[in-house]
Structure 1
């Protein structure tokens, strides 16, 4: 009963092996630790900025739509 691994399983296994190798040999090096911390920080900042922009654009569109209704041209009463 041979089981051929799916592509996702192969990728996951190779990623797991890479992580094990890094933990075993490389994470103790200061340059690797610094790189990981700056990369993680950069990714989290990028994600936060993208999330803020998405939230702002949704709110901005709703506000502008209501602003158009509120400050539209008023009909003159004679």
Structure 2
């Protein structure tokens, strides 16, 4: 996978790959150059996960309720 595709990943995809990278790094059987590349990719994946979580939190915060307190939809994030 290229670095450019991280921005297109779902939260679940990024988290799964990040967990795999962490496992490789924890085993310690990866050459130093590869470890550095894995760490850099992991930082990008972590940032993607954080962005997707923030996006989800904002959507939840924007849920609108009807008079009975039931969710009836969402408001645009920029309103």
Q: Considering the TM-score relative to the shorter chain, is it more than 0.5?
A: no
Q: TM-score range by the shorter chain?
A: 0.3 to 0.5
Q: Scaled by the length of structure 1, what TM-score is found?
A: 0.44
Q: Scaled by the length of structure 2, what TM-score is found?
A: 0.43
Which structure dedicates a bigger proportion of its chain to helix? 1
- Structure number with greater CO (CA < 8 Å, separation at least 6) is 2
Which structure dedicates a bigger proportion of its chain to strand? 2
